[in-house]
Amino acid sequence: MYCFLLIFAVEILKSNIMLVQFKFNNYKCFKDETVFNVVASKYYKDKSENLIQAPQYSLLRTAAVYGANASGKTKLFQAFYFMREVVLTSADNQTNTWQKNYSPFLLDNNSENASSTFEVVFLKDGIQYRYGFELNSNHILAEWLFRKKSKEIRILEFNRHDTYYNEHYINTKIFSNLSSAKMFRENSLIISALSMWNDELSKNILDWFKHNSVISTSLNTMTPNLRTALNSPTMKTKIIDFLLSADLGISDVTPNEVPLEEILTGEMREMMPNDAIGKLINLGFNVVHRKYDDQHLPIGYVKFRLESDESYGTYRFFSLAEPIINALETGSVLWIDEIDNGLHYDLVKALVALFQSDETNIHDAQLIINTHNISLIDDAVLFRRDQVFIIEKNRYGEAFLIPVSDFSLRESAKVGKLYREGRFGGVPYLEDLGRNLNK
C-alpha cells in the first residue's frame, strides 16, 4: 500500500464547514425526490474514527456511491455542481449560464415541463442552515433559508406571491435598496444578489458553497486551480511532496510555456505584430524526473510533458493533488467523480484513508466519491455500511439513491459480496451481452 506522509502547516482549528444533507428532484435522470444524507447511523458503533462529531449528530467523513454504468452516479454529482453554480453565479449578469445547464427529467411527459428543487442542509461555524430553491428552465420560482442552533428560525422565504426576510439576520438597508431598485431579478437568487452587496449572512452562505469542490472529467473540472496553486511556493512544495509520496517519481512541476511564434507556422507567424513576439503561451505542465548513469547514480534531471509523456493515471493523480491538499487544509467538502478512473486500488484506498485519519484530517474535511471499485467495500477496515450508497435505475430511466444502511443485514454479512450478487441493485444486467453478434 502506498504510504502518505503529509505534514500541513495549519492551525489546529476546526473549520466547521460540513455537509449534512443534499436533496433534489427532477434533474437529469433523477425524477423523484433524491436524498443524499451523510448523518451517521446510530445503529453502527464501529469505526468511530470515520465520523465527525457534531453537536447534534455524527457526520460521515467519507461516503462512496456505487452503481452500474449509466445508472446516475455522475448525474448525482452534476446535480450538486449545478446547485452550486446557480448559487455562485446567478446574480452575475456576465456569467449567468444556469439556464443553459438546466436539464429536467426528460423521459416523462409531466416532469419535462415541471420545476426542480434543490436543497442543502449544512453546518458552518457550529450553526445548521437549510437552504434551497425551486426553478424551471427560465425562472427562480421559490427560495428559502432557515437557521438552527437550538430551534429552526426562518430567515428568508420567497415565492411568486410573497417575500419574507428576517431583519435580525439580513441587512434591512441592503435588502430594501435592492428591492426598490428592482435588482432581484427573476432568474437570480436573492441570497446571491445580497451577497454581492456585502450582506454578511448571505456572504456566509455563499462561502459554504465555495468550500465545496466537484472534480469531474465530464464537467471539465480537473485542474481549474492548479496553475494558481503552483505559483505559491508553499503549495507547490506540498504538491510535489504529495506526488513523491505516491511513488510517481516526480521531483518537480513547472508550467510548459513556449513563445507564441514557436507554435505558429507560415503566414500566421509572418502576420504576428511585433509586440506579440516572445509572448509566452501556456501549453500545460512539465514534470521532472531524475536521470541516472549505468551505475544507477543520479546525474541530472529530465523534463516530460505531463499531458503526452506521462500515463493517464499520473495525470489524473496530479490533477487531484491540489484539491485534496486544499480540502484537508481548509476542512472543505470534496466531491470526486469516478475516483478510481486511472488509479490503482491501493492508491484510491490511501486517498480515502487520508480523510478518515485524525492525523491527516484535523479539520474534518469530507470526501464524497463515486466508484466501480468493489474492493473498497470488500475491505473490512475502510467503510462502515452507512458510508456506502447505491444508485439503481429502473426500466423507465428513473434513478434512485439507496443507502446500504436501509437494508437489514446480519453483522457478519459481506457488503461487497452482496453487491456483486445484485442484492442491492446497482449492477448491470449482462445476460444478453453479445447474444446477436454472430447472427
Q: 429 pLDDT exceeds 70? A: no
Full-model pTM? 0.89
CA 438 to chain centre: 43
Q: What is the pLDDT of residue 272?
A: 67
In the block, residue with C-alpha cell 505559491: 232
Q: 267 pLDDT exceeds 60? A: yes
Distance CA 317, CA 21 (A): 28
Q: What is the pLDDT of residue 412?
A: 66
Percent of the chain surpassing pLDDT 90: 54
Q: What is the pLDDT of residue 216?
A: 85
Q: What is the pLDDT of residue 150?
A: 86
Percent of the chain surpassing pLDDT 70: 88
Domains of the chain: 17-211+331-420 (3.40.50.300), 226-312 (no CATH)
Q: What is the pLDDT of residue 434?
A: 58
Q: What is the pLDDT of residue 12?
A: 36
Kindly report the average pLDDT of the chain as a whole number: 86
- pLDDT, mean of residues 341-356: 92
Distance CA 159, CA 378 (A): 47
Listed range (21-35, 266-280, 364-378, 392-406) with the worst mean pLDDT: 266-280
- pLDDT, mean of residues 134-143: 95
pLDDT tens column, 163-175: 999 999 999 999 9
Name the pLDDT band for 129 (thresholds 50, 70, 90): very high
Q: 16 pLDDT exceeds 80? A: no
Q: What is the pLDDT of residue 133?
A: 98
- pLDDT, mean of residues 228-243: 87
93 versus 369: which is more confidently predicted? 369
Q: Three-class SS string for the chain?
A: CCCCCCCCCCCCCCCCEEEEEEEEECECCECCCEEEECECCCCCCCCHHHEEECCCCEEECEEEEEECCCCCHHHHHHHHHHHHHHHHHCCCCCCCCHHHHCCCCCCCCCHHHCCEEEEEEEEECCEEEEEEEEECCCCEEEEEEEEECCCEEEEEEEECCCEEECCCCCCHHHHHHHHHCCCCCCCCCHHHHHHHCCCHHHHHHHHHHHCEEEECCCCCCCCCCHHHHHCCHHHHHHHHHHHHHCCCCCCEEEEEEEEHHHHCCHHHHHCCCHHHCCCEEEEEEEEEEEEECCCCCEEEEEEEEHHHHCCHHHHHHHHHHHHHHHHHHHCCEEEECCCCCCCCHHHHHHHHHHHCCCCCCCCCCEEEEECCCCHHHHCCCCCCHHHEEEEEECCCCCEEEEEHHHCCCCCCCCHHHHHHCCCCCCCCCCCCCCCCCCC
Q: What is the pLDDT of residue 432?
A: 60
Name the pLDDT band for 80 (thresholds 50, 70, 90): very high
- Residue 210 near residue 88 (C-beta atoms within 8 A): yes
Q: What is the pLDDT of residue 70?
A: 86
Residues ≥6 apart with Cβ < 8 Å to 19: 38, 59, 120, 122, 212, 333, 366, 368
- pLDDT, mean of residues 376-381: 83
Q: What is the pLDDT of residue 353?
A: 94
Distance CA 42, CA 184 (A): 43
Q: 416 pLDDT exceeds 80? A: no
Q: 423 pLDDT exceeds 70? A: yes
- C-alpha grid cell, residue 3: 504510504
Q: 234 pLDDT exceeds 60? A: yes
